[in-house]
């Protein structure tokens, strides 16, 4: 138990720049190649809906459940006042959520705590699992959680660090693509119940401006994450 706790609280050696760049390239492949993206986008949905749920809890709304669907869409239901700052914060959290989680992960990795990051992710997935209300969502979180657990429990320090960097890059790089897909769906006449359109109805600010806010936050997180990764000088 002492060794286990030491592995979580101790900083690990920094990976080589080759590993950092290599994991970024793999993450780009997982995002850019459409057959893979159809699968890996489920991770983005988990982060997206998890961000909705986290903010809903923080602003005092009653979280009623989360559903994840096979088309990589999702919905988070919370009870409370349907208007006001709290509801706006919940709707605003979704699309920037993966980027902000990725930025938090990048900060943790910059301090050398790859193992702590993976165990923290596992705890977050367990909490999320308690809120899932459909079978596909349950399956998605369990499969992703099993992958993270397997690498965290049996992986060597090098494997753990590489996976933590891969996941961090994936979150940072996938967030802008999800925002682009949102705007494409809106242009095609779909997505009219999206977070951006719900924010328009609540605030009167055009939905396209909210899409722009999502994109700016995602790109800012990516830029800062690149600096923290050591790829570029800080």
Digit-coded pLDDT (tens) for 207-233:
999 999 999 999 999 999 999 987 665
Domain ranges of the chain: 2-229
How confident is the model at residue 211, as a pLDDT?
Answer: 97
Digit-coded pLDDT (tens) for 102-147:
999 999 999 999 999 999 999 999 999 999 999 999 999 999 999 9
Digit-coded pLDDT (tens) for 12-53:
888 999 999 999 999 999 999 999 999 999 999 999 999 999
Three-point CA angle 67, 133, 168, nearest 5°: 50
The three-class DSSP label of residue 174 is helix
How confident is the model at residue 120, as a pLDDT?
Answer: 96
Would you place residue 234 in the very low, low, confident or very high pLDDT band (cuts 50, 70, 90)? very low
Nearest 5°: phi and psi at 168?
A: -65, -50
How confident is the model at residue 232, as a pLDDT?
Answer: 66
How confident is the model at residue 48, as a pLDDT?
Answer: 98
DSSP 120-144: HHHHHHHHHHTTB-SHHHHHHHHHH
Tokens describing residue 54: 């986290």
Residue burial 35-48, b: 16+ Cβ < 10 Å; e: rest = eebeebbbbbbbbb
Where in 2-73 does DSSP place strands (E)?
A: 62-68
In the chain, the percentage of residues whose pLDDT exceeds 90 is 87
Q: CA-CA distance, 202 to 149, in Å (whole number)?
A: 40
Calculate mean pLDDT across residues 145-161.
Answer: 95
Query: How buried is residue 133: exposed, middle or buried, by Cβ count under 10 Å (0-12/13-18/19+)?
Result: middle
The three-class DSSP label of residue 95 is coil
Calculate mean pLDDT across residues 200-208.
Answer: 95
Mean pLDDT, the chain, rounded, equals 94
Residue 45: CB partners within 8 Å, gap ≥ 6? 68, 72, 73, 74, 140
């Amino acid at each position: 138990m002492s060794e286990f706790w030491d592995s979580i609280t101790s900083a690990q050696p920094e990976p080589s720049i080759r590993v950092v760049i290599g994991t970024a390239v793999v993450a780009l492949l997982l995002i850019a190649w459409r057959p893979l993206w159809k699968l890996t986008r489920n991770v983005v949905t988990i982060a997206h809906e998890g961000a909705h749920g986290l903010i809903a809890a923080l602003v005092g709304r009653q979280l009623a459940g989360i559903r994840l669907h096979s088309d990589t869409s999702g919905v988070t239901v919370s009870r409370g006042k349907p208007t006001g700052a709290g509801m706006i914060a919940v709707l605003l959290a979704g699309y920037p959520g993966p980027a902000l989680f990725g930025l938090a992960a990048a900060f943790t990795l910059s301090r050398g705590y790859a193992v702590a990051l993976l165990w923290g992710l596992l705890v977050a997935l367990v909490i999320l699992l308690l809120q899932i209300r459909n079978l596909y969502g349950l399956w998605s979180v369990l499969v992703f959680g099993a992958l993270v657990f397997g690498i965290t429990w049996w992986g060597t320090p090098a494997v753990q660090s590489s996976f933590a960097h891969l996941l961090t890059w994936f979150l940072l790089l996938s967030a802008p693509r999800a925002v682009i897909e949102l705007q494409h769906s809106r242009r095609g006449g779909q997505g009219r119940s999206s977070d951006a359109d719900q924010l328009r109805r609540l605030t009167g600010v055009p939905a396209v401006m909210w899409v722009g806010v999502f994109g700016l936050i995602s790109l800012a997180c990516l830029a800062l994450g690149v600096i923290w990764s050591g790829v570029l000088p800080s």
